[in-house]
Structure 1
Amino acid sequence: MDREKVVVAGATGALGKMICSHLAKLEAQCIALAREGSDAKDVRDLEGLGVTVAIIDTSSPVEIAKTCEGAVCVVSALAGLRPVIIDAQKVLLEGALTAGVPRFIPSDFAIDFYQMEEGRNRNLDLRREFAQHLEGTAIAATSILNGLFAEYIFSESPLVVFDHHKSIYFGSDDQQIDITSMDNAAEYAAHAALDDSAPRYLRIAGNVLTIDDVADEASAGTGDAFETQWVGPVATLKPMIEIAKWFDSGDQLYPAFQGMQYTENLFSGDAKLDPLDNERYPVDWTPLREVIARGKPDFM
């Protein structure tokens, strides 16, 4: 039986590599796009997974189209600002369209920004802008929305402050937050890439937790007792965001104001995923405590 071909862009990044790994496990013919000059170790790692690495000029839609010929889906795991999310994804999409690829999964992998008005999250506004371009084409798109990546608990997210054994929150302690491990999101994406009936949006959450639940998960994952700490209403974040913007150089993916925007989005509840499509594919969802117990991943 011929293996279905899936092309993955951003394959040398953490999420992209995981998607490639799961596609290989599903016995797909996975082609990982890599830029000329990509790190040799990243290429070896992908090849070790049973993935074919295509080192091409990723700014050339012609070269992308040649690589995409015969593919059932192109998956984007690209990460960055406008030059990547808009410009590079448009080139990737052009190549996919030229090759006649029927389906495209954009690099959305986030909270449900489609429910929020523009201007509340710079990074996600870029994804919304690309989506408007994508929807004007003939290709069938599927956006996978997975809430917060669980591994970001180890970033500057206020959800868990490990040094102080605190879980920080704004607004109500009843607000539920969607959190999914990166590997679970990658596995789900691999299934979706091979599903020719996948809908326009798929919403998943490996964990749906209140801030008290987050503290409990941190306690279980570390063996230390964590407590919650309220720091104010959600509305207090908006002036803080505007002040933080004054100090932004404009070239960082996650400057201080961007983290504050994600925090406001989460605790406002406006980006809550509903309904969830967890049952569509056979994924064994990882509890947040297991991610915490593993410690900070190498790619963070």
Structure 2
Amino acid sequence: MRLEWLNDILAVAETGSLSEAADRRNLTQSAFSRRIRAIEDYVGVPLFDRGRKPLQMHPTTLRQRDQIAKLADEMQQLVSDLRIGSEASQNRVVFASQHALTTSLTPDLLRWLGTQAPDVYVRLRSANQDECFALLLSRQADLAFVYRATGDAHPIEAAFLETLTLGQDRLIPVFAQDMWGDLNEQYLSGHLPVVAYPRDVFLGQILDKNILPTLNQMVRPVPKVETALTLAAMELAIMGIAVAWVPASLAYRHINNDQLVDLSSTLPSINLDVTAVRVAGSSNKANTLLWQHLLSISNAEMSG
């Protein structure tokens, strides 16, 4: 049963006239009469008593009039909801972002979107790198913002993925400024308390591959606590529990206000690329707008 058919039936019931109902439905009387016949053929029974003037519903149809009106309203609401949902999907974008980038990168993107496309709705999902890629590949996220060690490839490289380099960061060792003297004594005695990352997360792999081999030649690192969260690692460093390797973009405010000291002049550090990744061709209006903005950032980074 079509929505227009339900409205045709109600138009006849309300006007009591095929000609007036045809006018209300913006049809000629002959076209409207054919459509009423088509409805009756579909239902299999006559809906109106054409032998009476004004035209009246058959008793069976009359008993169902309220149900017909309710069904027409529900179908109209469904159509409206589907259209609104379609429009909303064009103004919705889901970010999957590594924890540190959730704090350092995405606020600027959200601010830009707020000025260029205030109707865009953003869902932000903060996760480890492998979870970001999983969300992207399963189409639960439109964009992934992740780090990679400068010069390395992402763990997932495929023709259907597009990647932009948005800028540079650096993984640096930091520790509480007011407890740096105690740390230096421990370092001179041959051991160094450190915050460890799990080996199955990106920063844990970076530490194992790029930091610890050099550090082991200088001092014996002593893991004090393990966490997958860079924000937690930085807080542990602020409290003076252990040295933490965190992105400089995350730590710079605490360094500037003398809560943390950057130890990269003594201890090893490594450059990181900040990247945006998406599935090629998977874009709505919001996604396309944002990707063009990210492309301009990437081009400026490459030309600079």
Q: TM-score band, normalised by the shorter chain?
A: under 0.3
Larger Rg: 2
Q: Counting strand residues as a fraction of each chain, which structure ranks higher?
A: 2
TM-score between the two structures when normalised by the length of structure 1: 0.22
Q: Which has the higher contact order (CA 8 A, sep 6+)?
A: 2
